[in-house]
Amino acid sequence: MDGKVLCGASAEQLKYYFNPEFSRLPEAVQQELHDITVVMADRIGATFLMVFVPDGSLRLEVVPDEADFGYDEIETELQIRALQEEKEELFAQLEAFYRAFMMEDAR
């Protein structure tokens, strides 16, 4: 994985992670990110991550459990595309925040 993890959730371990480097994000945004990642991890049955890549884009990544033979890659891709459409504005704002406040060359 090449980039900086914003947040993620694991369906198998029932855990959520939020990178404290992004604590400047408003509490409401942090809560929305929590809700998105936990629901997506549960829907797809895998670990779901939101990662900023070096150019500042937000990438949605899935890490399936290698032992889960029921993992559906096609359904996962459909779920991610639907999420990207539904949360397009939020993701664009997160990318703008990252580029303005978090990228080293922005300073």
Mean pLDDT of the chain: 92
Q: How confident is the model at residue 107 (pLDDT cuts 50, 70, 90)?
A: very low
Percentage of the chain lying above the pLDDT 90 cut: 82
Domain boundaries, the chain: 4-106
24-75: pLDDT as tens digits: 999 999 999 999 999 999 999 999 999 999 999 999 999 987 766 777 899 9
20, 11 Cβ separation under 8 angstroms:
no
Measure the CA–CA gap between 51 and 95, rounded to whole angstroms.
Answer: 10
Mean pLDDT, range 98-106, rounded to an integer: 79
Ordered DSSP codes for 64-77: --TT-TT--HHHHH
pLDDT over threshold 90, residue 103: no
Q: 1 or 58: which carries more pLDDT confidence?
A: 58
Percentage of the chain lying above the pLDDT 70 cut: 93
Which H or E element spans position 34? helix 27-44
